[in-house]
């Protein structure tokens, strides 16, 4: 199992990079930078590439709606160049609240757009003259939609690699099936090992049945919170605000993907109450309602023996890359937590 670090998009980035430099020496395999309605991930990854030398770097993830497919491909090729071939492109759709509320772009056709974005990116990296007649993207733009002067172009530079690994963040069955078919990696959120096969097993099997063998095995990249020790039980409460935000506040009723996932895990009743409280402005009550049981099952919080058991459970569920976020205020403590996991990993 590979171990990586997930950098929070809302915290001090310079301090986080200092920790990544130390953790690279300790042996982590990958560092992932998220993007929400925050600083963009790309500029931060460029900075991180200059400060590191071995660790793989990735977006975790960038939304497909706010960059053209060709720009995504150019950006990935650029980051792969400045990192000497250490970059992985993580993409996703985010959700209507962020796309329409913050960016002002329509949230439509996530499946179709994702497939077309991946296909166009790979054409660009192969330095083909990009001609693409998709349902959602047409290159060059048809004359009836533009000036008629566009012509197929190829990337000027020669990429370090003609196939940069792509990871897709996906939750719903159809999205997961598509990911297992076309991507090098899959990055789900709020992963509960004991329930994963029940929730996603059929979708993964269907996608893998159509998968090109040249893509290799699907890299299952899972994010989890981390605190190691005999007296870290209270760190479970550090995780609850984010869970409450996503389960309760990331979308309206019936349009919240994270709420849907909690329901499929068997937490539908409490997820409904969290959503009701959050949307009515009672955020503190919503946070308090997040069950310890659910947080504990999704996290690595507890004594070393418990952490070893949970690492085995993640491995048994097929996790190949574990991205940790230390629940620690002290940077030295955060580094120690990650070093513990490196020592305990299967």
Q: What is the pLDDT of residues 195-246, one digit of tens each?
A: 999 999 999 999 999 999 999 999 999 999 999 999 999 999 999 999 999 9
Give dist(CA 304, CA 324) in Å, integer: 15
Q: How confident is the model at residue 254 (pLDDT cuts 50, 70, 90)?
A: confident
Tokens of 343: 């020592």
Phi, psi angle pair for 275, to nearest 5°: -65, -45
Give dist(CA 196, CA 181) in Å, integer: 18
- Mean residue pLDDT across the chain: 95
Domain spanning 2-224+313-344, CATH architecture: Alpha-Beta Barrel (3.20)
Mean pLDDT of 22-37: 95
Mean pLDDT of 98-116: 95
**Cβ count near 83 (within 10 Å):** 21
pLDDT of residue 12: 78
Which has the closest alpha carbon to 199: 254, 265, 247, 297? Answer: 265
Q: What are the residue boundaries of the structural domains of the chain, listed by start? A: 2-224+313-344, 231-302
The CA-atom distances, in angstroms, between 321 and each of 16, 17, 47, 175, 311 are 20, 20, 23, 20, 11
pLDDT of residue 315: 98
With a CB cutoff of 8 Å and minimum separation 6, the contacts of 215 are 182, 183, 184
DSSP string over 14-51: HHHHHHHHHHHHHT--EEEE--SSSS-HHHHHHHHHHH
Indicate whether 11 pLDDT > 80: no
Give dist(CA 246, CA 259) in Å, integer: 7
pLDDT of residue 97: 84
pTM of the model: 0.95
pLDDT of residue 276: 95
Q: How confident is the model at residue 338 (pLDDT cuts 50, 70, 90)?
A: very high
């Amino acid at each position: 199992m590979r171990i990586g670090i997930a950098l929070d998009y809302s915290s001090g980035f310079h301090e986080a990079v200092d920790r990544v430099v130390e953790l690279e020496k300790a042996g982590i395999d990958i560092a992932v930078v998220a993007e929400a309605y925050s600083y963009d991930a790309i500029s931060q990854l460029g900075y991180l590439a200059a400060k590191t030398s071995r660790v793989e770097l990735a977006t975790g993830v960038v939304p497909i709606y706010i960059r053209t497919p060709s720009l995504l491909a150019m950006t990935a090729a650029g980051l792969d160049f400045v990192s000497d071939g250490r970059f992985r492109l993580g993409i996703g759709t985010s959700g209507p609240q962020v796309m329409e509320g913050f960016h002002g772009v329509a949230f439509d056709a996530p499946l179709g757009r994702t497939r077309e974005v991946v296909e166009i990116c790979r054409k660009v990296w192969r330095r083909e003259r990009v001609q693409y007649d998709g349902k959602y993207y047409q290159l060059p733009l048809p004359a009836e939609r533009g000036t008629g002067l566009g012509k197929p172009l190829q990337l000027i530079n020669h990429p370090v690699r003609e196939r940069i690994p792509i990871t897709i963040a996906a939750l719903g069955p159809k999205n997961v099936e598509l990911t297992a078919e076309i991507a090098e990696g899959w990055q789900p959120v709020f992963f509960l090992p004991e329930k994963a096969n029940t929730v996603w097993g059929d979708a993964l099997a269907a996608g893998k049945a159509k998968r090109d063998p040249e893509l290799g095995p699907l890299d299952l990249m899972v994010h989890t919170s981390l605190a190691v020790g005999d007296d870290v039980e209270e760190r479970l409460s550090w995780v609850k605000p984010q869970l409450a935000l996503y389960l309760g506040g990331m979308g309206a009723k019936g349009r919240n993907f994270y709420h849907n996932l909690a329901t499929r895990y068997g937490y539908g009743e409490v997820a409904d109450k969290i959503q009701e409280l959050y949307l009515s402005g009672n955020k503190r009550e919503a946070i308090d309602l997040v069950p310890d049981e659910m947080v504990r099952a999704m996290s690595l919080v507890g004594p070393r023996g418990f952490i070893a058991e949970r690492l085995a459970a993640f491995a048994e569920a097929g996790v190949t890359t574990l991205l940790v976020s230390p629940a620690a205020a002290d940077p030295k403590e955060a580094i120690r937590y990650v070093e513990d996991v490196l020592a305990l990993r299967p």
